[in-house]
Structure 1
Amino acid sequence: MQNTRTSSPIPGNPCGEKWASRLLSECAEAIAEKNTNKIHHLLWMLNELASPYGDIDQKLASHFLQALFCKATEYGEQCYKSLISVAEKKHSFESTRKMILKFQEMSPWTTFGHVASNGAILEALEGENKLHIIDISNTFCTQWPTLLEALATRNDETPQLKLTVVVTESMERSVMKEISHRMKKFARLMGVPFELNVVSRLAHLCQLTKEELSVEEDEAVAINCIGALRRVNVDERGAVIRMLHGLSPRVVTVVEEEADFTSTRDDFVKCFEECLRFYNLYFEMLDESFVSTSNERLMLERECSRSIVSILACNIESSCEESELRERSSQWCNRLKECFSAVGFSDDVVDDAKSLLKRYRAGWSLVFSQGDNPALFLMWKEEPVVWASAWKP
């Protein structure tokens, strides 16, 4: 459907600056109104202007065009499965690892959550000698070398650390085997007694049980949820949170992206506008963080394209939905407060997060929200994009 031209919008076209958002929104409205002639006209126009290798407007047009076409033709589930299949065949563990590490080098989008969570976990488990961290995240364990280093330099006796990594079927067993090997090697280097267990073969996170996690009575437990809770079906999120509470953790850290793709599910245009707002920010961030020819940037953008298709073009009952339905911090806090109390972050953790941002280009800042829902927000050009929080039973 899409071409690959890198030129600017065609001469004399009336779209002007920021043309992609306007045309895409018009097309979404036409789909909601079932205006077939207008849909065809706008899809054709977007296809003429879009390019996955162009400027931000061309990229937005390219990736959202695919989702709008799938929505209009009811081809979302098939397209999503095809995109996932292509990605799995094309991406090796090494290319994925390189993408993640490059992203962390160029942007604090993920490292912010690592720093905030590690700080809260270390403070909650201070003085304990038998630690058990349950990692339910999408970080490929890139979060933990820094924590291992911090444990190795503690003034008192170096504690034992058991790390239980929870993965779903989408992460290949061979990948976790390679990650496990690297983590154990680094722990030996740091002199930290270390055990890593993997809980896999889960189709969905809601299938996770207390028994599978092998929590022992004398362990101080921390639960780390980074980009994980949005993988749970909306109707099952409360049950998962109650299951986590049943593990009696010292702390639960939650990091999610600040967007709402749930409350607008029944209004396609509103859901589309929220999706466009969020990914417009994300694409702007990538544009200012990476060079235009970066392979890692293209991989990240293709990942976005799959997410956009699942949000906008898949039925809510579809399995592809579970990995994309983000909620805002206020929504998550309301859910979490049914079982936990928010504890916020100490001044030391906030200072560490501020120091992290100094490594990156201008445009990033932090906002620490206190009150009933204390949380730390990562801001991109004064817009909240990621938030972190810490909770105790």
Structure 2
Amino acid sequence: MILNPTRPVWPGFSSSKSLCGDANCMEQLLLHCANAIESNDATLTQQTIWVINNLASSDGDSTQRLASSLLRALISRAATKSPAFSFLSVASASHETLHRFSVIELAVFVDLTPWHRFGFIAANAAILDAVKGYSSVHIVDLSLTHCMQIPTLLDSMATKLINKEQSPPLLKLTVVLSESPPPPLLGISYEELGLKLVSFAATRNVAMEFRIIYSSYSDGLSSLIEQLRLDPLVCNEALVVNCHMMLHYIPNDTLSYSSPSRSLFLKELRDLNPTMVTLIEEDADFTSSNFIARLRSLFNYMWIPYDTADTFLTCGSEQRQWYEADIGWRIDNVVAKEGAERVERLEPKSRWFKRMREADFTGVGFGEAVAREVQTMLEEHAAGWGMKRDVDDSDDVERFVLTWKGHSVVFASAWVPMNRVDGCSHTLTVWPGFSSSKSLCGDANCMEQLLLHCANAIESNDATLTQQTIWVINNLASSDGDSTQRLASSLLRALISRAATKSPAFSFLSVASASHETLHRFSVIELAAFVDLTPWHRFGFIAANAAILDAVKGYSSVHIVDLSLTHCMQIPTLIDSMATKLINKEQSLPLLKLTVVLSESPPPPLLGISYEELGLKLVSFAATRNVAMEFRIIYSSYSDGLSSLIEQLRLDPLACNEALVVNCHMMLHYISHEALSYSSPSRSLFLKELRDLNPTMVTLIEEDADFTSSNFISRFFFGLYYYVALR
């Protein structure tokens, strides 16, 4: 029923304002009611409820049905909020019982609208492209629709991933069963669902395994993550995590700082090194702690499912009742619940994309073929549906957004880990006492996966799995083998050393079993020859020397502070260049002052003579080139930010026309990183102190890698990735 527009707003109040049932009017009334509830104003609440109740209708147009559902949720919130609303009862706000769908009903229900099919098409296309060439595909399906995406994926696997040499890959499907799942609800058990899917896969000649893991979104799916960490390694297996409108049930960061959050889940997911993660979510924001702002966002998004329902569900039909009861449940959760009970916490795509990037994922585009497939599907539905291409400013990757009458509804995105390590292939029994058809080999990809698996086992204090993976790696690695085997041997010793000192769980290991060979101490001739064997250091020598020579032209004295891993092996070439390039008729060669740092426990390569002897050799060599040279040793520690060096340089007497050059060759990373301790002298502090000395030039040569993560698995992964590339 629609009120007469000239009727007073509520009994006892006269007003010239008119009311109607359009969307803007309804939104204002609902917000007015919400404000009254939040202000504990019982009179105003009662009056606005009366007005809205006369305008709203569960059988009316889309705006009226939305208002009816929102009103029930507001009454529910008020009835449980304060004794001031004792005239209300929760019963008056009750929603219809949620329907439990059969598999056929749910499949038909999903097909009626692009709401889910849009994400299915985009995600399946990305998954198929990502898993080509793998003999096994493990999909973790975190989906609101209870695996309704999987039959289409199975069909595609059977036709698109088959060739003359290879049958379709084995499909392993892992699903999560949680307490109190959100609608739509399934009318059969997941065990029955699994049997149906395995049976369907068999008709497509796809071998399939189905597994259920009991886990809770409220604790960040910790049980799922733990189980995936413990899963035995299978070579040449792709791990795909398909997130279809379920990740927003993991608590967002505003709920509790102590709760497992979405960002933490994504970082833990990243540490599993998945082949791909697909992320399909509704593009709205229900996270505000301000109830009024949240209600406004809810109204401005949830009109869409009611509006679209008019295009595919008959008024008064049983299917519409099921559909809108599910929507009503979501509305009630956003409005009437707070704290951990409020699980409907949608976030906009921009925030999700930021989270993914912060977790070290990078986006993958879908391509034109997928866009055409989506457009074809949309043409099967009402004219209001559309798709827009959204390019994120941060990575220039094109994503797809489903729209209704131009409004964003659902976004689809695909992600891969940055610097991902791929899988492996071939055959070896996994470990003693275990029979398995799974295969392993000694190639680089396989070895990387085994080492990461071992590292995860150590961090999880899983002694059994650690022992098993160590056994496998030990049989594949060799200190005398090829480059991959030698790298694996070294990394294995390091992992054993870490495990042996980490926990009593690894008492079967000893640090001695991880011991490395004694480091060689090089003579000057040996070290010079060693450095010349590879561009690793010479590359930096050439670049730095050229920059230094250009910077010190015209100076009568050049003071070089040489912070170098190679114990001054760069200096003879620099002296040669000074003798030939810095001489002219008007001026003799500049005096060269060389300051070096001697620290306790220097990293390799180690020098077999003292720095005093090294200095004598350099001064003698400089004399043969007619370059006057002074050599000085300063005892300083990188662990305290070279504070003694900085102090001495501050105290050095000022010399006229003297250039000060600080040559940093692969040593500054031994200064404490900021993440180590906020109280420790850091690299940034050292550089600021260096700047205060007003040097003529600073050269910085470093290895381009990141070993700073406080998360061991991330650090091990990046270290492994770097050294594998160099093997």
TM-score of the aligned structures, taking structure 1 as reference length: 0.88
CA distance in 2, matches of 1:388, 1:69: 35
1:311 shift after superposition: 0.8
Indicate conservation of the 8 Å contact 2:217/2:250, yes or no: no
Report which stretch shifted further, 169-178 or 335-344: 169-178
Uncovered stretches (5+) of structure 1, i.e. residues with no partner:
1-7
> Cα distance 1:283–1:99, how it changes in 2: closer, same or farther (>3 A)?
farther
Matched ranges for 1:287-306 at <5 A: 287-306=310-329
The yes-or-no answer on 1:190 pairing with 2:210 is: no
Q: Which of the residues 221, 224, 243 maps onto 2:239?
A: 221
1:217 shift after superposition: 3.5
> Cα distance 1:201–1:232, how it changes in 2: closer, same or farther (>3 A)?
closer
Q: Which of the residues 370, 374, 378 maps onto 1:357?
A: 378
Deviations 1:184-224 (A, max 9, x none): 11101000011111112536343334342336332211110
SS in 1 for 2:278: strand
Match of 2:301 in 1: 278
Match of 2:37 in 1: 31
Match of 1:165 in 2: 175
Identity of aligned residues (%): 30
Indicate conservation of the 8 Å contact 1:209/1:243, yes or no: no
1:99 shift after superposition: 4.9
1:174 shift after superposition: 4.7
Match of 2:410 in 1: 386
Match of 2:366 in 1: 345
CA distance in 2, matches of 1:17, 1:169: 39
Matched ranges for 1:169-248 at <5 A: 169-170=179-180, 174-200=188-214, 202=216, 204=218, 205-213=220-228, 214=231, 216-218=233-235, 219-235=237-253, 236-248=261-273
SS in 1 for 2:123: helix
Deviations 1:153-178 (A, max 9, x none): 13422111111112212358952122
Moved over 4 A (4+): 171-174
> Cα distance 1:79–1:146, how it changes in 2: closer, same or farther (>3 A)?
farther
Indicate conservation of the 8 Å contact 2:215/2:221, yes or no: no
1:377 shift after superposition: 0.2
Letter in 1 for 2:410: V
Match of 1:110 in 2: 116
CA distance in 2, matches of 1:203, 1:133: 18
The yes-or-no answer on 1:368 pairing with 2:389 is: yes
Indicate conservation of the 8 Å contact 1:366/1:377, yes or no: yes
Indicate conservation of the 8 Å contact 1:21/1:276, yes or no: yes
CA distance in 1, matches of 2:101, 2:194: 13
Q: Which of the residues 256, 262, 267 maps onto 2:281?
A: 256
Q: Which of the residues 28, 40, 49 maps onto 1:22?
A: 28
> Cα distance 1:116–1:50, how it changes in 2: closer, same or farther (>3 A)?
same
The yes-or-no answer on 1:91 pairing with 2:91 is: no
Matched ranges for 1:36-75 at <5 A: 36-74=42-80
CA distance in 1, matches of 2:40, 2:105: 40
CA distance in 2, matches of 1:197, 1:248: 20
Indicate conservation of the 8 Å contact 2:122/2:412, yes or no: yes
Rg bigger for which structure? 2
Report which stretch shifted further, 192-201 or 50-59: 50-59
Of structures 1 and 2, the one scoring higher in RCO (CA 8 A, sep 6+) is 1
Indicate conservation of the 8 Å contact 2:66/2:303, yes or no: yes
Indicate conservation of the 8 Å contact 1:169/1:203, yes or no: no
> Cα distance 1:92–1:270, how it changes in 2: closer, same or farther (>3 A)?
closer
Matched ranges for 1:291-330 at <5 A: 291-315=314-338, 317-318=339-340, 320-322=341-343, 324-330=344-350
CA distance in 2, matches of 1:40, 1:215: 61
1:17 shift after superposition: 4.1
1:129 shift after superposition: 1.3
Q: Going by fraction, where is helix more abundant, 1 or 2? A: 1
Match of 1:122 in 2: 128
Match of 1:101 in 2: 107
> Cα distance 1:240–1:252, how it changes in 2: closer, same or farther (>3 A)?
same
1:380 shift after superposition: 0.4
> Cα distance 1:284–1:194, how it changes in 2: closer, same or farther (>3 A)?
same
Report which stretch shifted further, 150-159 or 109-118: 150-159
The yes-or-no answer on 1:9 pairing with 2:9 is: no
Deviations 1:316-347 (A, max 9, x none): x23x322x100000011111111211112122
CA distance in 2, matches of 1:137, 1:215: 24
CA distance in 2, matches of 1:92, 1:299: 9
> Cα distance 1:386–1:341, how it changes in 2: closer, same or farther (>3 A)?
same
Q: Which of the residues 325, 332, 353 maps onto 2:352?
A: 332
* Backbone CA RMSD of aligned residues: 2.4
Q: How many residues align?
A: 374
Match of 2:716 in 1: none
Indicate conservation of the 8 Å contact 2:364/2:416, yes or no: yes
> Cα distance 1:79–1:37, how it changes in 2: closer, same or farther (>3 A)?
closer
> Cα distance 1:179–1:391, how it changes in 2: closer, same or farther (>3 A)?
same
1:151 shift after superposition: 1.0
Indicate conservation of the 8 Å contact 2:21/2:55, yes or no: no
> Cα distance 1:380–1:173, how it changes in 2: closer, same or farther (>3 A)?
closer
CA distance in 1, matches of 2:179, 2:209: 22
TM-score of the aligned structures, taking structure 2 as reference length: 0.49
Indicate conservation of the 8 Å contact 1:99/1:299, yes or no: no
Match of 1:5 in 2: none
Report which stretch shifted further, 341-350 or 97-106: 97-106
CA distance in 2, matches of 1:173, 1:93: 5
1:138 shift after superposition: 1.1
1:268 shift after superposition: 1.8
Indicate conservation of the 8 Å contact 2:402/2:411, yes or no: yes
Indicate conservation of the 8 Å contact 1:83/1:306, yes or no: no
> Cα distance 1:327–1:26, how it changes in 2: closer, same or farther (>3 A)?
same
Letter in 2 for 1:368: R
